[in-house]
Chain A
């Protein structure tokens, strides 16, 4: 038995690139020579290690992407704070002048903060999330229960138009197609009838969230749970 041949065969099997014949050949070799089983397991462990370590090695050789402009300022601030470049000297003057100056600074700071809070209260109102709703039923959409469930979905999210899919592929494509510009939350609610699941997927402030609600007897209860979850995640 040639060591190199066994190594190459095992590599192919571990990578899932072996043909049926190659897999059978490896099985036969291992059955005839039990020590090759240990060798195969060692090779599997080596590959796992390589898959963990090599991305780090590759990272040390990376030359892209570019440093974003916003990060530069934050990092330079960290340098100043940590490595202690001296701040500007305190203003000259008598103690009394300095005390007066601090009083004015304090008042000015307070006034600025109050104005900022007032402005924020006027301007800030969380935009309503964009909610998209769909139903997947691979058995067809003609049954009475479908109509009832469609109505439930429509009633819960009355501003959304409920889409119907008869194939998992189309529903999958819908689930991964994200609209919006990131300025408001986007939520997708899919009632997967064959799986008996109500799936909620969302993105808000750059973070994804997801939860699946199992629909048993009470569809309305699952709808309420999903609605509450969306409110918790988006504040809307």
Chain B
């Protein structure tokens, strides 16, 4: 990926960039919208890449692209959710459409709560995301995802990564400390 070519409006470079960045925009939007507004995921992903076009001249390196796209998509998805919640709450008693599928809402973060990824400015969010990607080294990153996104048990994680079960907690503890250091706590942010 050549940032200069993008900044110089090279159509072929943009074509490559859109193919490369689409999964990022789509996945970031999907993470927020899928349980509530799945039909809007593609729309938000397109808008996010359009917004990237407007910001590309302010970037200094290609490594900024993915975190920036993810942060734009995240912010736009949160805005959509807020609009939707406002509209539905104002329009009479409503029911959520299969929120989070089988698992329900128990123990899951409020999708529009004022957590660091929601309250941070887009640029700041992208910077912290970039730091996180840099500091959360393998296999800690994969073990964290397995635990906190896929909700695997310690035993399943140990089997998957071929590590002793006693090491799983060590990786998780280290990973959580890294996140806390980069993102700060809610009350501190």
Interface SS majority for chain A:
helix
Return chain A residues, CB-CB under 8 Å to B145: 54, 57-58
Q: How far is the CA of A211 from the CA of B95 in the complex (A)?
A: 7
Q: Let me know if A83 is at the binding interface, CB within 8 A.
A: yes
Write the nearest CB–CB distance from A151 to chain B, whole angstroms.
Answer: 26
Q: Let me know if A143 is at the binding interface, CB within 8 A.
A: no
Asked if A76 meets B31 with Cβ closer than 8 Å, knowing A210-B97, A212-B94, the reply is: no
Return chain B residues, CB-CB under 8 Å to A130: none
Is there an interface contact between A11 and B169, defined as CB atoms closer than 8 Å? yes
Is there an interface contact between A15 and B27, defined as CB atoms closer than 8 Å? no
Shortest beta-carbon contacts, A-B, top 7: A55-B31, A59-B27, A83-B9, A62-B23, A59-B28, A62-B27, A67-B22
8 contacts between A and B (CB under 8 A): A46-B179, A49-B186, A52-B115, A55-B27, A62-B23, A67-B18, A74-B46, A207-B39
Is there an interface contact between A57 and B136, defined as CB atoms closer than 8 Å? yes
Return chain B residues, CB-CB under 8 Å to A62: 23-24, 26-27
Is there an interface contact between A4 and B170, defined as CB atoms closer than 8 Å? yes
Most buried by A among B98, B133, B144, B176: B176
Return chain B residues, CB-CB under 8 Å to A80: 9
A58, A68, A82, A214: the one within 8 Å of B54 (CB): A82
Return chain A residues, CB-CB under 8 Å to B93: 211-214
Return chain B residues, CB-CB under 8 Å to A48: 109, 115, 186
Q: Let me know if A51 is at the binding interface, CB within 8 A.
A: yes
Q: Let me know if B151 is at the binding interface, CB within 8 A.
A: yes
Q: Let me know if A7 is at the binding interface, CB within 8 A.
A: yes
User: Chain B residue with minimal CB distance to A86?
Assistant: B9
Return chain B residues, CB-CB under 8 Å to A60: 24, 66-67, 70, 129, 133
- In chain A, positions 192-227 with a C-beta closer than 8 Å to chain B are 199, 201, 206-208, 210-214
Total interface residues in chain A, CB < 8 Å: 56
Return chain B residues, CB-CB under 8 Å to A51: 108-109, 148-149
Q: Which residues of B are interface residues toward A (Cβ below 8 A)?
A: 7-9, 11, 14-15, 18-19, 22-24, 26-28, 31, 37, 39-40, 42, 45-46, 49-50, 53-54, 56-57, 66-67, 70-71, 73-74, 88, 91-95, 97-98, 106-109, 115-118, 129, 132-133, 136, 141, 144-145, 147-149, 151, 153-154, 166, 169-170, 172-173, 175-176, 179-180, 183, 185-186
Write the nearest CB–CB distance from A235 to chain B, whole angstroms.
Answer: 17
Return chain A residues, CB-CB under 8 Å to B95: 199, 210, 212
Asked if A8 meets B169 with Cβ closer than 8 Å, knowing A199-B95, A212-B94, the reply is: yes
Is there an interface contact between A16 and B42, defined as CB atoms closer than 8 Å? no
A54, A78, A211: the one within 8 Å of B50 (CB): A78
Is there an interface contact between A56 and B169, defined as CB atoms closer than 8 Å? no
Is there an interface contact between B141 and A210, defined as CB atoms closer than 8 Å? no
